A and B are shown apart, each in its own frame.
Chain A
Amino acid sequence: MSRGRLGKYSLWQFRDFVVERGVAILIIGLLWGYVLIAPFRAAGGPQLKLNPSSPMWPLLITVASSIVSLSVLIAVNGIVSTDKKMGYYRFLFSKPVSVLAYYVQLYFVHMVGVVAAMLVLSGILRTIVPDFSIVNYLLYTALIFVAMGGIGFFISVATRFDWVTLAAVWLGSRALRDLYGAKPGLPGKLVQVLPPVHKLDAVANGLITNGNAPTTDVIWLLAYGSLFFVLGLVLLRQGSLAD
């Protein structure tokens, strides 16, 4: 008996990503970008004079990085939990395929999908803001997919309410670090194990603007996301697909 053709199935996984998430990501990105860019274009003409030294550049970076975060949230939401919740796993995994390999592949297909969507959006932005680097933006996207997507993957394996949980973890970590990050004692130490969302602003500014970011921050984000991705796989292996 032959084994399942998982590699070939990645084309179906990518098609599902485009139909179910990619279009939504593009629409949200375009709307969000339009809301930001339209007032500038109305004031300054079709070619914006935005460059890294412009006072509005940080705002552009904030919006661009927020679109990446939102896209990753959309991309990993339900990546495992939907199959469990809806029972799709039953027919998928009666076939000769490894559950782990299936979801590892799906995770990377979604990463490619998000990067492709950001390529489209940044390509459009580049026509208006020539100083905006597409390559740097895609690098940032890949980094955030690993950092945030890894945590999202773990949450999707562990719970059915993954997007709410991931949003709560992401925003909660930021709030708790703001509150206790600089304080001495146990609370200050405990918040250090939360997701390193406080490093995102510096990384976004550095990486998107000039392709440089503090190496330790990048490693910290990558390691944190990767750790949770692996923990998600372990949980998937040890746990049950059925309730």
Chain B
Amino acid sequence: MPPTFELNRASALVIEFRNVGKTYKSLLGNSVKAVEEFSLQVVEGEILGIAGPNGAGKTTIIAMMLGYLRPTKGTVEINGLPARTYIERNGVGYLSELIAINPKWRAETALVRYATLAGISDAEIPLRVNEVIEKLGLAEHRDKKVKALSKGNLQRLGLAQALLRDDQILVLDEPTHGLDPVWTQRFRDIVEELRRPDRTILIASHNLDELQRLADRVAIIDHGRLQRVVSTGYEQNAPTATRFRLTLAGGFDQIRESFPLAESGGRGEYDVTVRSIQELNTALADLISRGALVVSVVPERSVLEQQFREAVGESQ
């Protein structure tokens, strides 16, 4: 039996993948299984990340969720309706990995067109379009043709059209692809602003750091299969040993009193391994009480990164 993951939460179920599979068949009869036995539930108010290596099946899963691709097996439902039916009735905010907008359109008119299709009234269109243009820093590019936009600006235009409506569901596929560090950070702020108890956000990315920061849970996919669903918060009694990097500004000679196996990395940095967060905190308290000045404590790998390595390693 494939692994199934069900949330034990009171929040309303919004998106449900039920044993979904997608097999591509060539004219010569060769077949490739892109997605297999994928089951997952996403609830209201949640930000769910979808992580996986390139070619893992993330984009295929999203295409099936949007009804752009018909599953070979299983069903995808949104709020109890077949996915395509739901979208044709309600719409979703969607940013695709590849930003495909007619290159002859101008940035602003592209947004006006999408706003019209999104059902925004004539009176409201200029307001909404201006709002997303300001939010995404596109004011100086509004009259440019899409083909004249840089990769980063095109990505922002793609995000702008996804935010035109106040959609209950947002689907963002590799949202920071092509963005510079400033806009990557701005994007994270925007997603945090978008978080709402009645909104569900899906973010597919191979950037684990991004998912660790934004998502509540992350579904790790490899070879078209759901490997595991990881909660991005640190668990108090995580059973696995975790390495942290400590940076000290003083009291260097005290480090081995509190962390006997600490390895020095130079410049006041030390690598320590603990079996739990409690053990880390106890040792840190001891170190500080001995007069050491702790500047930072950073996990060598995030919970997600650790889980990702294990999951992808297992699947291979």
Is A94 part of the binding interface, using a Cβ–Cβ cutoff of 8 Å? yes
A94–B94 CB distance below 8 A:
yes
* Cα separation A1 to B116 with both chains bound (whole Å): 13
Query: Judging by beta carbons under 8 Å apart, are B88 and A242 in contact?
Result: no
Measured CB to CB, the closest approach of chain B to A182, in angstroms, equals 35
Residue of B nearest to A83 (CB): B100
Q: Tell me the nearest residue of chain A to B167, going by C-beta.
A: A1
Given A1-B91, A240-B68 in contact, is the A87-B116 Cβ separation under 8 Å?
A: no
The docked-state distance in angstroms from the alpha carbon of A195 to that of B226 is 49
**Of A2, A20, A97, A238, the contact of B88 (CB 8 Å cutoff):** A97
A93 contacts partner chain B, Cβ-Cβ < 8 Å = yes
Partner of A96, one of B69, B101, B113, B118: B118
Complex Cα distance, B96 from A240, in Å, reads 16
User: Of B63, B114, B161, B165, which one neighbours A1 at CB under 8 angstroms?
Assistant: B165
- Is B118 a contact partner of A93 (Cβ separation < 8 A)? no
Contact string against B for A residues 1-24, beta-carbon threshold 8 Å, 1 for contact and 0 otherwise = 111111011001000000110000
* Residues of chain B in range 85-117 having any CB-CB distance to chain A below 8 Å: 87-94, 96, 98, 100-102, 104, 113-114, 116-117
- Per the bound structure, the CA–CA distance linking A22 and B116 in Å amounts to 23
Measured CB to CB, the closest approach of chain A to B70, in angstroms, equals 5
Interface size class of B (residues with CB under 8 A): 35 or more
A86: Cβ under 8 A from any B Cβ? yes
Give the size of the chain A interface in residues (CB under 8 angstroms): 30
Main DSSP-derived SS at the A contact region: loop
| A95→B118 contact, CB < 8 A | yes
What residue in chain B is nearest A8 (Cβ atoms)?
Answer: B116
Known: A8-B116, A9-B117. A94 touches B93 (CB 8 A): yes
B91 in contact with A12 (CB, 8 Å): no
User: A91 near B96 (CB under 8 angstroms)?
Assistant: yes
Instruction: Give Cα A3 to B119, complex, Å.
Output: 5
Partner of B117, one of A4, A20, A240, A242: A4
Contact A91 B94, beta carbon cutoff 8 Å: yes
Given A90-B68, A91-B94, A240-B70, A1 contacting B100 (CB threshold 8 A): no
Return chain A residues, CB-CB under 8 Å to B84: 99
Given contacts A91-B101, A93-B68, A240-B69, contact A98 B88 (CB under 8 A): yes
A241 within 8 A of B: yes
What per-residue 1/0 map shows which CB atoms of A196-234 lie under 8 Å from chain B?
000000000000000000000000000000000000000
Q: Is the CB of A9 within 8 A of B92?
A: no
Contact A96 B68 (CB under 8 A): no
> What distance in Å separates the Cβ of B65 from its nearest Cβ neighbour in chain A?
11
Whether the Cβ atoms of B87 and A93 lie closer than 8 Å is yes
Which residues of the partner chain B approach A87 to less than 8 Å between Cβ atoms?
A: 96, 98, 100
Mark each residue of chain A from 73 to 107: 1 if its CB lies under 8 Å from any CB of chain B, else 0. 00000000000001111111111111100000000
Q: Does B66 sit within 8 A of A, measured CB to CB? A: yes
Cβ contact within 8 Å between A95 and B119: yes
Rounded to whole angstroms, the CA-CA distance of A145 and B120 in the bound complex is 33
CA distance A96 to B116 in the complex (A): 10
The interface centre, meaning the residue of B67, B69, B100, B102 with most chain A CB atoms within 10 A of its CB, is B100
| In the complex, chain B residues whose CB is within 8 Å of the CB of A3 | 89, 119
Residue A187 CB within 8 A of the other chain: no
Whether A95 pairs with B98 at a CB distance below 8 angstroms is no
- B residues in contact (CB < 8 Å) with A: 63, 66-70, 84, 87-94, 96, 98, 100-102, 104, 113-114, 116-122, 158, 161-162, 165, 167-168, 171
Given contacts A91-B161, A95-B119, 10 further A-B contacts (CB under 8 A): A1-B167, A3-B119, A19-B104, A88-B102, A89-B68, A95-B117, A95-B165, A240-B63, A241-B68, A242-B69
Can you pick out 13 interface pairs between chain A and chain B where the beta carbons lie within 8 Å of each other?
A: A2-B121, A5-B116, A8-B122, A9-B113, A90-B98, A93-B67, A93-B68, A94-B91, A95-B118, A96-B91, A239-B70, A240-B63, A241-B69
The 7 A-B residue pairs with the shortest CB-CB distance in the complex, in nearest-first order: A87-B100, A94-B94, A96-B91, A2-B119, A95-B117, A242-B68, A90-B96
